[in-house]
Amino acid sequence: MGETHRYPAASPGAVALRTARTRLIEGGGSDDRVQSTLIVPMVAHDTVVGLAQFSRTKGSEPFGERDRAVAVELAARAAVCIDNARLYRREHERALILQRSLLPPGDPEAAGLDIACRYLPGNAATEVGGDWFDVIELPGHRTALVVGDVMGRGLRAAVAMGELRTAVRTLALLDLEPAEVLTALDEVARGLGAPGGAQQASRSALHSRDADRSEVYLATCVYAVYDPVTRRCTIANAGHMPPVLVEPAEDGNDPRPGLLLEIPTGMPLGVGGEPFEEVEVELPEGALLALYTDGLVESRDHPLEEGLRGLRSAVADPARPLEEVCDQVLNTLHTRHGEDDIALLMARVQGLPVEAVGDWQLPREARSVGRARELARAKLPAWGLEQLLDTTELLVSELVTNALRYGEGEIRLRLLLDRTLVCEVWDANLAQPRRRRARDTDEGGRGLQLVGLLSAGWGTRRTHRGKTVWFELPLPMPGAAPDETGAELSAEQLLSMYG
């Protein structure tokens, strides 16, 4: 095995490789024990993939036509097996490259969360599966945690996983609720196997109960959104393994075993027809949340219940370093099987410190605009952000003015400090503000245009009691001068706002 055989250009072996024709050699050359040798090319899809050599010792019957036919048949079957193995290896390598390229590099960062993750492909005897995980930054320093598993194996499962992961990231940018994300993702999954997409798949299912389901991709997924200010996590589940929560041990008490969160388990993605539910869970400081795929807790030799018990025990001490907890889980559970891929995403709750949050209620009256500016101007120096005072004050004034002019109910102003500065203005009106280009004769209409030009990003999202409009500013570099923060507008940008 692994040896290289070289044939001189005029040798029978080289001729057989070039012509793809069987060669019969009388005599054994340097080996006086051989009477004759039959060299048969191994051909698959009109391509020679190797040679098969059959020899008979002296005193045996010479090779006949029947022997030649049997040798050709054996070589043809071996060639098909070799070609299939090469195709499988190429597909396996492509699927593995695709899958790993779509996973987050390293340990992702998130506000108010300490995160560790692991991905382990199945052993060499298995095909690549469709497991994936992701950590997505959302406005307001919130974080979406996602773990999913496409049913099936091979390159097609990996491609389907990539499309679903991309769809999740796109839907997350819309800042939808977890149940809404899974509903939209279900439509995407139903369209993966249909030539015309999700809409065509839905129409076909209505017209034919016997539609071919072989191209329908099913997947499970759990989608959780964590808010570091409230330390609340909203979770929705589409046929996936239940998340495990480990609450911190009280002083003097033994560590608590992990708890399986009772999240309503909806149908897998791609089935359609059933709404998804979401549950809001309050996570105490220091708690540990684990999301995972079934390869971690289930195998042929070990039932699911046993695996879940093992997982709950392995994460029982959330005070340990998170990387050690991940290793403990894998050492306890994974060493007993390697039949399936494993994705593990663990997050320890830290939350934003109270001093990193400014939260105020403002009455619905004109003087609230000035009050909002005063609050921002008083808060930023305490955070060492004097360089952002003018920009923040101006943009806060614009958002509060819009909330007074077009919103309803009381106004809530919130400033959040983490890796960036985020400002949120809430009101009770569900109507989303829309950025437009003001005409030369318009006296207003430039507020959101100014927000977009001066901030690193802005947007809106619906809440249970209205909407939130937010903007984000990067923190100044240490030692940067006020004009080096990147917040100043050029003359061209200012002029473009006024014609």
* Interval 443-481: pLDDT, tens: 445 678 888 889 998 988 888 788 999 999 999 876 555
CA distances, 318 to each of 79, 119, 169, 262, 287 (Å): 55, 20, 29, 20, 7
| Topology at the third CATH level for domain 354-496 | Heat Shock Protein 90 (3.30.565)
316-321 long-range contacts, CB within 8 A, separation 24+: 316/246, 316/255, 316/256, 316/257, 316/258, 317/249, 317/255, 318/246, 318/247, 318/248, 318/249, 318/255, 318/286, 318/287, 318/288, 318/348, 319/248, 319/249, 319/255, 319/286
Q: Could you give the percent of the chain with pLDDT greater than 90?
A: 33
Reported as a single tens digit per residue, the pLDDT across 21-58 is 888 887 655 667 777 888 888 888 888 888 888 888 88
The answer on pLDDT for 194 being more than 80 is no
Which are the contacts of 425, defined by CB distance < 8 A and separation ≥ 6? Answer: 396, 399, 400, 402, 403, 411, 412, 413, 414, 468, 469, 470
Structural class in CATH, domain 12-93: alpha beta
Residues whose CB falls within 8 Å of the CB of residue 54, separated by 6 or more in sequence, listed in order: 37, 38, 40, 63, 67, 71
Cα→Cα distances 258→159, 245, 330, Å: 34, 5, 16
Amino acid at site 306:
E
Which amino acid, 118? Answer: R
Segment 3-27 mean pLDDT: 79
Sequence ranges of the domains in the chain: 12-93, 103-203+216-349, 354-496
Sequence letter at residue 269: L
Q: Among 492, 493, 419, which residue's Cα sits nearest to residue 454?
A: 493
Exposure class string for 134-155: b at 16+ Cβ within 10 A, else e = bbbbbbbbbbbbbbbbbbbbbb
What is the pTM assigned to this prediction? 0.73
Q: What is the pLDDT of residue 96?
A: 66
The pLDDT, as a whole number, for residue 106 is 64
Higher pLDDT, 232 or 489: 232
Least confident of 114-128, 384-398, 435-449: 435-449
Q: What is the chain's length?
A: 499
- DSSP string covering 343-367: EEEEEEE----GGGEEEEEE-SSTH
The alpha carbon dihedral of 426, 427, 428, 429 has a sign of negative
How far apart CA 3 and CA 135 sit, in angstroms, is: 46
pLDDT tens column, 356-396: 999 999 999 999 999 999 999 999 999 999 999 999 999 99
CA gap 450, 328 in Å, rounded = 51
Report the CATH fold assignment for 103-203+216-349: Phosphatase 2c; domain 1 (3.60.40)
